[in-house]
Amino acid sequence: EVQLLESGGGLEQPGESLRLSCRASAFTFKTYAMSWFRQAPGRGLEWVASIDNSGYTSYHADSVKGRFTISRDNSKNTLLLQMDSLRAEDTAIYYCARIWTAVPHTDSWGQGTLVTVSS
């Protein structure tokens, strides 16, 4: 069974940085594109960023462009999200997810890690 385990969440002040990690197991990580999503308290799901299987191509939502960076280390089966210049509106549960290959829908989700941005 696909396992995605996020870590790195916590409480941070506005303007500070945080790095999230997602450790993948039970599948061949390097063959799948991956994404980060988030869900603010009481709100719906929001796409944050995606990266292809090689790590060479990535895309970011306008709301985080220039502040967040998605990357991956295929040698360590790990997906990363570097979050800089944090804002209060970045407060959310952040989910790591796998993108299916043939038809690129999200097919597996992690359990999420909570990021709180507050002074």
Partner 1 sequence: QPVLTQSSSASASLGSSVKLTCTLSSGHSNFIIAWHQQQPGKAPQFLMRVDASGSYNKRSGVPDRFSGSSSGTDRYLTISNLQSEDEADYYCETWDTETRVFGGGTKLTVL
Residues that bind partner 1 (CB under 8 A): 35, 37, 44-47, 50, 59, 61, 95, 103-112
User: Minimum distance from CB of 45 to partner 1 (Å)?
Assistant: 5
Q: Which is nearer to partner 1, 102 or 119 (CB)?
A: 102
User: What letter does residue 15 receive in the DSSP assignment?
Assistant: T
Work out the angle at residue 79's Cα, subtended by the Cα atoms of residues 100 and 86, and round it to the nearest 5 degrees.
120
Q: Which is nearer to partner 1, 93 or 116 (CB)?
A: 93
Q: Which is nearer to partner 1, 50 or 78 (CB)?
A: 50
Which two structure tokens, joined as six digits, stand for 15? 């303007």
Residues 51, 56, 61, 66, CA torsion sign: positive
User: What letter does residue 32 receive in the DSSP assignment?
Assistant: S
- As a whole number of angstroms, the distance between CA 22 and CA 44 comes to 21
User: Minimum distance from CB of 108 to partner 1 (Å)?
Assistant: 7
92, 41 in Cβ contact below 8 A? Answer: yes
Q: Which is nearer to partner 1, 58 or 74 (CB)?
A: 58
User: Minimum distance from CB of 14 to partner 1 (Å)?
Assistant: 26
User: Minimum distance from CB of 74 to partner 1 (Å)?
Assistant: 21
